[in-house]
Amino acid sequence: MLKNYFITAFRSLKRFKLFTFLNLFGLSTGMACSILIMLWVQDEKSYDKFTPNAAEIYRLTSNVSGSIAAVTPPPVVDAVKQQIPAVENVTHGVPISATVSIGDKKFDEKNLLYADANFLQFFNYPLVRGNGNVLGQPNQVVITASTAIKYFGTENAVGKTLKVENGYNSDYIVSGVLKNLPHNSHLQFSMLLPISYYYLSNGEDWGNFSAYSYVKLDKHFNATSSSIALLEKQIDLIHQKNDQSNTKSRFTLQPLTDIHLTAGLQLDVEGQGNMQNVKIFSIAAIFILVIACINFMNLSTALGSTRAKEVGLRKTIGARRIDLIVQLMGESLLVALLALMIGVLLAWFLLPLFNELASKNIGIDLLNGSLIAQLLAIAVFVGLISGSYPAIFISSFNPVKALKGIKAPKGELSYLRSGLVIFQFAVSVVLIISTLIVNNQLDFIRKRDIGFNKQNLLYIQVPQVGYQKANYDALKQALQLNNGIADYTIVDHLPTNLTTGTTDVVWSGKDPNMQTVFPHIGADASFLKTFGMKLIAGRMFNANSIADDSTYLVNQTALKIMGIKPAAAVGQKISTNGNQGTIIGVVQDFNFKPVQQAIEPLIIRHNNRAGFVVIRTSGADYQQIIGNLKDVIHNLYPNYPYNYGFVDQDIAKLYVTEQRTGMLFNVFSIMSVIISCLGLFGLATFAIQKRVKEIGVRRVLGASAQGIVAMLSADFIKLVGASLLVAFPVSWYIMHQWLANYAYRITISWWVFAISGICAVLIALITVSYQSVKAAYANPVKSLRND
């Protein structure tokens, strides 16, 4: 019996070659897209789940005057462990950047952490070399395996000495080599330093928000929303009792496995994902698969009447309806399994390109039992969904009417088929509109006036400590002698993604209960000129005036918060972190953080130390300028690594996630349109084949070819028009919610819907035109020959 089902299924597939090809191509393409999205979603949701007892670990985040950050004051967690019994263990780490020296070799490291002695044990990070408490002594350091190879080659790194130039130029002994961190760990670091060195310069400051802090709750603790909220209130009280700066902060316990997909926290680790994008692409994967299933259902039901006599004959010789349903469902499952195999091969072939687009390193492990089970589940789901209605419909034919050639009633079926076409085209149009809006928003971000000219700005990093001051004048003289440099400025932080902030800002008339975070930056007298910023009141710093060390510039947003008009701002007294000063100028607002965030109040201090030299080039040969600057830095700072970058590139990096989202949107919207067109092409082919004689009669009676093409196309254009009525409001709502994540965003214009609608109609016309034109210009004598 089973063998007979398979033989019959293969014969049926072979008999209708075009429709078999359309079904296989549509389903396999839909499955390939869904498999790639499924792998991406699984990777995004897998972060930190490898950590033992991950469900009991939380990161402590802070909210200071609406500024939500991933960091807390370092002393908080130790006090939490001592005072809250439900907390079993705690640890924390403070991220830094530093120059690492091994002999004459210098390395500029961005991902270092001052960490607790229990940091490795807390997260169960395994060592490949070393044992015991490898961070127990103040001169010990732990490096990752890849860092060990970079520093020492294939030699055993344990026991080797390195110097970290972090203000103390301290020598450390490598006490352990850590196994490279998994790619799906939210924490990515190359070295761990003892936290004791951090406290040497910063002390246990309860007002300094700088540490990533983690708590592990007791395994018997019932972590409900109410019990977690109670713990958070206890942590708030602990901070209030110990913080001498009276910073009004609220703390939140963030589950470890939620960290990667929680976007928007300030001072967070790099490479964050976005749960909204995960949800969007998950829905897209389901819809793409559903579109492919609809194609199968439509084509199978359309072919139903051609199989009427087969069904009638089988019923006549004793086949039960359930037997026919099983046979037809078997055919759909067979097609789904064949499509799965093709889809897996297609996904495997496209995986390198997909990894490049998504910046991932995902693989397809066909020896993974869980993955195989998921893929088979997709195939069975597709087979059952796609084949269910066609099987029920075709098996319902009356054998007498079927053998006489009487057509089955088609009203109800026609409505269902039309509804499915409307649905699949509506999904495609939603994706098209979403793609246009996403691309427009990204283009808006790239071209938006951010308040300064980001082009031709090159920066180099210089020491902030040690002998920098002694070479300050020599550095300026060397820069002035370079013909390719138009202007330059020296700042302590780059105004591209500023992470500084203080709530200790006082001005006349300030409400004592008011608390606002003021980012700040140190700059010299050339800051505004070099960046092309506008001064709307007052003056800039005087390079030769020592008195300007106690003066400030503020932006427009800062004045709005202070309740001071720009014309009256100059001469006003303010205090920041206890340092009294005078406002001497007002700067027009500019973006110093990603455009997802609104412009915040900013205070510009007169720079008394370096960090970065930002250079406005004349647009000449960059390589020559970079080479000249390298010589300057090596002459002035022979033991300091030469690092440079471009401001516009740094700003572009802030929106890498959005750029990837846009590219993936483009790809999957195109694929959904292709799959929808395949189904429309198949339906058009079948519909026109059923009307061949009607077309022949119309031609004989004088109908023009153009009129017939218009008649045949009109039915499908009506369906596309109906799909637009569904797609427009749905896409507007979805994109309106997505754009709400941006403080500065486009408005959704009518032309987006107009272009999408025109594209959908044109795509439908092109899809059905081939068969329509072919039928319209066919010789009517041939179509009427048998009548």
User: How many whole angstroms separate alpha carbon 677 and alpha carbon 198?
Assistant: 62
Taking all residues of the chain, what is their mean pLDDT, rounded to a whole number?
Answer: 83
Helices and strands (H and E) in the chain: how many: 24, 22
Integer CA distances (angstroms), 159 to 156, 190, 572, in order: 8, 17, 57
**Burial class of residue 405, CB neighbours in 10 A (0-12, 13-18, 19+):** exposed
Contact status, residue 175 vs residue 158, Cβ threshold 8 Å: yes
Task: Give pLDDT tens digits for 124-171.
Answer: 999 999 887 888 888 899 999 999 999 999 899 999 999 887 666 678
User: How many whole angstroms separate alpha carbon 8 and alpha carbon 355?
Assistant: 41
Contact status, residue 723 vs residue 760, Cβ threshold 8 Å: yes
User: How many whole angstroms separate alpha carbon 161 and alpha carbon 3?
Assistant: 72
Q: How crowded is residue 223: how many other Cβ atoms within 10 Å of its Cβ?
A: 15
Residue 699 in this model has a pLDDT that exceeds 80? no
Amino acid 582: pLDDT: 93
User: How many whole angstroms separate alpha carbon 185 and alpha carbon 331?
Assistant: 44
Q: Which helix (H) or strand (E) holds 93?
A: strand 87-102
Nearest to 520 by CA among 499, 542, 541: 499
User: How many whole angstroms separate alpha carbon 149 and alpha carbon 180?
Assistant: 11
Q: Would you put residue 443 in left (φ > 0), alpha (ψ -120 to 50) or beta?
A: alpha
Q: Which residue has the higher pLDDT, 476 or 89?
A: 89
SS3 content of the chain, % helix, strand, coil (to 5): 50, 15, 30
Task: Give pLDDT tens digits for 461-515.
Answer: 887 655 455 567 777 788 887 777 888 898 988 998 888 888 889 998 888 888 8
Q: Which residue has the higher pLDDT, 32 or 327?
A: 32
Q: Which residue has the higher pLDDT, 666 or 192?
A: 192
Q: How crowded is residue 535: how many other Cβ atoms within 10 Å of its Cβ?
A: 14
- % the chain with pLDDT above 90: 33
Amino acid 477: pLDDT: 80
Any idea what the Cα angle at residue 564 is, between residues 560 and 570, rounded to 5°? 120
3-state secondary structure of 639: coil
Amino acid 123: pLDDT: 94
Amino acid 412: pLDDT: 47
Contact status, residue 484 vs residue 625, Cβ threshold 8 Å: yes
Amino acid 94: pLDDT: 93
Integer CA distances (angstroms), 160 to 174, 175, 590, in order: 6, 8, 47
3-state secondary structure of 438: helix
Residues near 258 by beta carbon (within 8 Å), at least 6 away in sequence:
none
- The mean-pLDDT minimum among 245-259, 293-307, 647-661 falls in 293-307
3-state secondary structure of 135: coil
User: How many whole angstroms separate alpha carbon 384 and alpha carbon 456?
Assistant: 59
Q: Which residue has the higher pLDDT, 280 or 55?
A: 55
User: How many whole angstroms separate alpha carbon 498 and alpha carbon 654?
Assistant: 12
The residue to which tokens 């195999």 are assigned: 341
User: How many whole angstroms separate alpha carbon 253 and alpha carbon 663?
Assistant: 34
Amino acid 346: pLDDT: 92
Backbone angles phi, psi at 252, to 5 degrees: -130, 140
Confidence class of residue 316 from pLDDT cuts 50, 70 and 90?
low
Q: Which residue has the higher pLDDT, 10 or 64?
A: 64
Task: Give pLDDT tens digits for 630-646.
Answer: 888 888 877 777 888 89
Residue 320 in this model has a pLDDT that exceeds 80? no
